[in-house]
Structure 1
């Protein structure tokens, strides 16, 4: 039987693997790993699922753009929860 994890489990797995790998631009993951009510944005780091999925292979330039977008998203939606 094939097991397909739900979005939260997949998000947590990706975030944990990002946090443990060496990166020149640090992951903004704060270990919350919960999606907003629309199921599109993590309420911990304010990245979309697509941005989280891209992180590991993204160039430093793309990572910086993702961080800026996440900060802008956070500023318009509210402050980050702390783990």
Structure 2
């Protein structure tokens, strides 16, 4: 029987703008859990330093942070999409044989 493994949804600047508005809204998706393995938040893909410094960043700094977040996700094999102006993104699933 196949095993369904939940993969995190791609966190994109485009989708955050649709959901929250603004030029560079926070990548936070309210899944605030740090991975002991990667050192990244499992929801927004930021480091603790990026999360801590976010509120003090100017637009250029926020844009650079978003670029790192999206690059990390692509490196992990996630692909981006925009789900529209919704509060949360649908989860992506991968089906594997057992």
Q: TM-score, normalised by structure 1?
A: 0.62
5+ residue gaps, structure 2 = 1-21, 79-88, 92-98
Instruction: Name which one, 1 or 2, has greater alpha-carbon Rg.
Output: 2
Higher relative contact order (CA 8 A, sep 6+): 2
1:38 is displaced (CA, Å) by 2.4
Partners of 2:90 and 2:33 in 1: CA distance: 12
Residue 30 of structure 1 contacts residue 82 of structure 1 at CA under 8 Å; is this kept in 2? no
Number of equivalences: 62
Structure 1 ranges of 4+ moved more than 2 A: none
Q: What SS does the corresponding residue of 2:37 show, helix, strand or coil?
A: coil
Residues 44/78 of structure 1: CA separation in 2 closer, same or farther (3 Å cut):
farther
Q: TM-score, normalised by structure 2?
A: 0.53
**Structure with higher helix content:** 1
- 1:1-80 matches, within 5 Å, as 24-38=23-37, 40-79=39-78
5+ residue gaps, structure 1 = 1-22
**Structure with higher strand content:** 2
